[in-house]
Structure 1
Amino acid sequence: MSLLRAKIPDVFNEPACEKNRGKDAKARKKGCSKPLTPGAAAGGCAFDGAKIVLQPITDVAHLIHAPLACEGNSWDNRGAASSGPTLWRTSFTTDLTELDIVMGQGERKLFKAIREIKEAHRPPAIFVYPTCVTALIGDDIEAVCKRAAEKFGLPVVPVNAPGFAGSKNLGNKLAGEALLDHVIGTVEPDDAGPYDINILGEFNLSGEFWLVKPLLDRLGIRVRACIPGDARYFDIACAHRARAAMMVCSTALINLARRMEQRWGIPFFEGSFYGITDTSEALRQISQLLVKKGADSEILGRTEALIAEEEAIAWKKLAAYRRRLQGKRVLLNTGGVKSWSVVHALMEIGIEIVGTSVKKSTVEDRERIKQILKDDNHMFEQMAPRELYAMLSEHKADIMLSGGRTQFIALKAKTPWLDINQERQHPYAGYDGMVELVRQIDLAIHNPIWRQVREPAPWDCQPAVREELPRTKSETATLHVVQEFAGTTADDFGAC
């Protein structure tokens, strides 16, 4: 716990972002994230954040040293995809019980679990995650991992991010610190080259990175390590020999990018693969950084040729959707890098942004939104469900893009909705991803179901019934009961 207490203030001291460089020394140490406050873990605890960052390392065994519920609540919390190993899809836990805790059997049970995983699965490494329970009872995770590594001859990495330490974002950063302390730089590759790069903060959700990697392959650029999306332990261990890096989600792993630049001189920039313009700009900046680090300048010309070719193909595909989506209004209820990257991507084809959430966005993200939208009137910190419903039911937006937690607000308001968070089923990165995003928006907005659900219900709109014979008292009483049950009156019943 003493190591954790010493690590947390260091994680929040983040001088890498441009906004932070302009602050005085005292303010700079606060970084861009808020320290631990009551209720800070409501959107996900530190353990959850660490698991999100590290679980997509696909050939590693992820062992949760805790009661069973901790692993059950955190497993498979992102829609990351793997092109090969499936060990990361297997759930490992020590499943501590009350008896283990009372009798002090936690460390012994952890050591036994590491041995069983090593013998049954032969992974290249094992990551061990303590949670609130094992951290509070004082199990020495680092000592057990060190002893197991010596005994079994494989890396056993302690990820010291128990849930009570803070929010999910803090857990993201603590996971980056674990990679720096125990993984990156532990293996020397024999094939390092001048065109090697790292991609940081890319989770390969729904296989998104697979739409971008072929572009880099055509330029002769090798991704030494994509952290964490579709990653392998050996690749991450060799990541210190890359020549440049691109930061996709700075909120999660900017501390990792900064420290790698300090230790091994790997320059980085923050970019996005969402949208045509941002994808092209990201490719340009990667090539420029490589040239600055010694690569042949001819890659700049090849990059421009590739961009021109891919942009022409993408714009041609988007031409059919532009006419159908021009002027459509979108409400974006997300955060982080998507709060500005998706905004820019949608505006490229003429879609109007009526609002974008900045709850999980950094100061830099907010500044980018202001530059893109030319003002901050369309930015909102947090919108209550009642306000979201009112905005959508009043038809101030034609579609809402958000995560699964707010989808039912849109559906209740009879408004199209599209998932763009980690649970999404379609990849939206790169040129092809932009076309897919626009296609999905078009399908959602123009789905004929919305016209049907917005029509009056049959019991609200019945054809007039002309009766030649007067009703009896019994018939009249029955009619009033039916009308009251259907929410109509005698005046509007029988009229549309």
Structure 2
Amino acid sequence: MKLAYWMYAGPAHIGTLRVASSFKNVHAIMHAPLGDDYFNVMRSMLERERDFTPVTASIVDRNVLARGSQEKVVDNITRKDKEERPDLIVLTPTCTSSILQEDLQNFVERAQLEAKSNVLLADVNHYRVNELQAGDRTLHQIVQFYIEKARKKDDLRTDKTTEPSVNIIGISTLGFHNQHDCRELKKLMGDLGIQVNAVIPEGASVHELKNLPRAWFNLVPYRELGRMTAEYLQAEFEMPFVDITPMGVVETARCIRAIQIILNQQGANVDYESFIQDQTLFVSQAAWFSRSIDCQNLTGKKAVVFGDNTHAAAITKILAREMGIRVVLAGTYCKYDAEWFREQVRGYCDEILISDDNGAIGDAIARLEPAAIFGTQMERHVGKRLDIPCGVIAAPIHIQNFPIGYKPFMGYEGTNQIADLIYNSFTLGMEDHLLEIFGGHDTKEVITKGVSADSDLAWSKDGLAELNRIPGFVRGKVKRNTEKFARDRGIETITAEVLYAAKEAVGA
């Protein structure tokens, strides 16, 4: 057993709560012990929400453990039904409710007898799925529930809209730059002459879900959320979907061409080639910037990429294919979807790492010594320890990654934002020399322990002093060679003399 002190994807109930609280007038009841209700604070802080987060915790306490939860949970559901008048109440199970082996479906059926709202149990296995998988399943479950309800009432519209239209599926609260991406995707669809039929779940009403089949196709911009819903709509109504993430010049063009094929198959007769060319040449500054004298400084530099599937795969392609940067490692923590990731990044990087162990990621970064990291907030912390700049490209994220200004990652404006992020994440030219003169960003002190807790070596004061005299651009390599020299010889403390001996041994 290994203690995890950092989780890239949260527990399943967080994914369910993200989806439920994204819809308008949907309330979630979370059956959990005190302390698991941090979602409300997290969402209010990160999203800078002014409104109350529509999540209520039904606390598991000693009384519940003694007498059972049924009456308390049912009372909480009916009370919120009267107070909030939501369209839907989602009961969110947790690991605790699973351990207690409670029949939550029975609780829902009892509450439904009294409540005027629809009541639904989020059907996710908390032992087998994480936040991302649970969010995907919950969205699919809610959509299926309302589609079937409309079908029973003979209120399901399947006739297509007069003009080409799209459902954008997967925009949710606490998603990385989701609000900005949504705005950019709406603009992109408008430029292509495509109406937006619905955006789900963020900002949507559950009453709109019966109209989803009216769209000509579905767009699923994120691999992690929305694909199950798109596959369900395809199976039920033969609705095609595009799941190419429009991130970067090449992939945005590929996404648009896929949309063009789908629309023309339905009789639209559209040609977007001139639009793609115009946007690439004049709207996206990334295309010419990546070939400018500024970016020539980046050619051949090493980078490590790590994050969720969507962003890590997209950034890897952009770095290698559009900016001439060598990706020495591309990785993801989405272990459940590893084969897709390997297929996407194969040929664009030297190594592929599928892991949710942040210590392993940190050690790989320390070993490879890239010029820049593109990862989550955890990789940013690793970069600070190793004095390697890091651009944050995926969740988990910090409040600073919820910018007030407009910063999409998708579409043609997104290409500009990504190009800026990549360029500004590297330490270039004179800056490296100035950092040596005036000191580093945060500290000039060299990290002499591994990023994980596996290092067994220590550095003496005179050894550290001598190491700090070595120029920054080779200091990491000297440190690594010296530690290897000491470890091979069973030396536990590295002094200045050991450093000199190691330098002589490698002919330095």
CA distance in 2, matches of 1:239, 1:356: 36
Is 1:130 matched with 2:93? yes
Give the superposition deviation at 1:289.
Answer: 1.5
What SS does the corresponding residue of 2:309 show, helix, strand or coil? coil
Is 1:432 matched with 2:413? yes
- Contact between 1:47 and 1:162, CA under 8 Å: does it hold in 2? no
Give aligned-pair identity as a percent.
16
**394 and 130 in structure 1: CA distance in 2 versus 1, 3 angstrom threshold:** closer
Question: Deviations along 1:388-447, whole A, 9 cap, x unmatched?
Answer: 556655774111111122322211111001111122335322211221122123223248
Q: Which shifted more, 224-233 or 388-397?
A: 388-397
CA distance in 2, matches of 1:81, 1:243: 32
Give the alignment's TM-score, normalised by structure 1: 0.72
Give the superposition deviation at 1:219.
Answer: 2.3
What SS does the corresponding residue of 1:199 show, helix, strand or coil? strand
Within a 5 Å distance, the mapping from 1:93-132 to structure 2 comes to: 93-104=57-68, 106-132=69-95
Give the superposition deviation at 1:293.
Answer: 3.2
- What's 1:471 paired with? none
- What's 2:324 paired with? 350
Question: Deviations along 1:103-138, whole A, 9 cap, x unmatched?
Answer: 23x233223323333333333322221223334445
CA distance in 1, matches of 2:196, 2:47: 17
- Contact between 1:186 and 1:238, CA under 8 Å: does it hold in 2? no
- What's 1:56 paired with? 22
What SS does the corresponding residue of 1:421 show, helix, strand or coil? coil
Within a 5 Å distance, the mapping from 1:51-450 to structure 2 comes to: 51-72=17-38, 76=42, 86=51, 89-104=53-68, 106-149=69-112, 151-161=114-124, 163-168=126-131, 170-184=133-147, 186-187=149-150, 188=155, 193=161, 194-203=163-172, 205-206=176-177, 207=179, 208-294=181-267, 296-297=268-269, 300-301=270-271, 303-312=272-281, 313-314=283-284, 315-316=287-288, 322-347=295-320, 348-360=322-334, 361-370=337-346, 372-373=347-348, 377-382=350-355, 392-393=365-366, 396-422=369-395, 423=397, 424-425=401-402, 426-446=407-427, 448=431
Question: Deviations along 1:183-242, whole A, 9 cap, x unmatched?
Answer: 345455779515232233344532222222111122232333333344433333432332
**53 and 264 in structure 1: CA distance in 2 versus 1, 3 angstrom threshold:** same
**236 and 261 in structure 1: CA distance in 2 versus 1, 3 angstrom threshold:** same
Question: Deviations along 1:10-35, whole A, 9 cap, x unmatched?
Answer: xxxxxxxxxxxxxxxxxxxxxxxxxx
Q: Which shifted more, 203-212 or 396-405?
A: 203-212
**355 and 79 in structure 1: CA distance in 2 versus 1, 3 angstrom threshold:** farther
Within a 5 Å distance, the mapping from 1:473-484 to structure 2 comes to: none
- Contact between 1:80 and 1:205, CA under 8 Å: does it hold in 2? no
Q: Which shifted more, 69-78 or 356-365?
A: 69-78
- Contact between 1:58 and 1:85, CA under 8 Å: does it hold in 2? no
Residue ranges of structure 2 left out of the alignment (5+ in a row): 447-461, 470-494, 501-508
What SS does the corresponding residue of 1:220 show, helix, strand or coil? coil
Give the superposition deviation at 1:306.
Answer: 2.8
Residue ranges of structure 1 left out of the alignment (5+ in a row): 1-38, 464-486
**392 and 222 in structure 1: CA distance in 2 versus 1, 3 angstrom threshold:** same
- Contact between 1:246 and 1:269, CA under 8 Å: does it hold in 2? yes
Task: State the number of aligned residues.
Answer: 420
**253 and 163 in structure 1: CA distance in 2 versus 1, 3 angstrom threshold:** same
CA distance in 2, matches of 1:365, 1:165: 20
Give the superposition deviation at 1:265.
Answer: 1.4
What SS does the corresponding residue of 1:164 show, helix, strand or coil? coil
Letter aligned with residue 379 of structure 2: T
- What's 2:453 paired with? none
What SS does the corresponding residue of 2:200 show, helix, strand or coil? strand
CA distance in 2, matches of 1:319, 1:234: 49
Give the superposition deviation at 1:149.
Answer: 4.3
- Contact between 1:389 and 1:413, CA under 8 Å: does it hold in 2? no
**79 and 488 in structure 1: CA distance in 2 versus 1, 3 angstrom threshold:** same
Give the alignment's TM-score, normalised by structure 2: 0.70
CA distance in 2, matches of 1:114, 1:396: 53
CA distance in 2, matches of 1:237, 1:133: 34
- Contact between 1:161 and 1:171, CA under 8 Å: does it hold in 2? yes
- Contact between 1:81 and 1:229, CA under 8 Å: does it hold in 2? no
Give the superposition deviation at 1:263.
Answer: 1.1
CA distance in 2, matches of 1:65, 1:93: 6
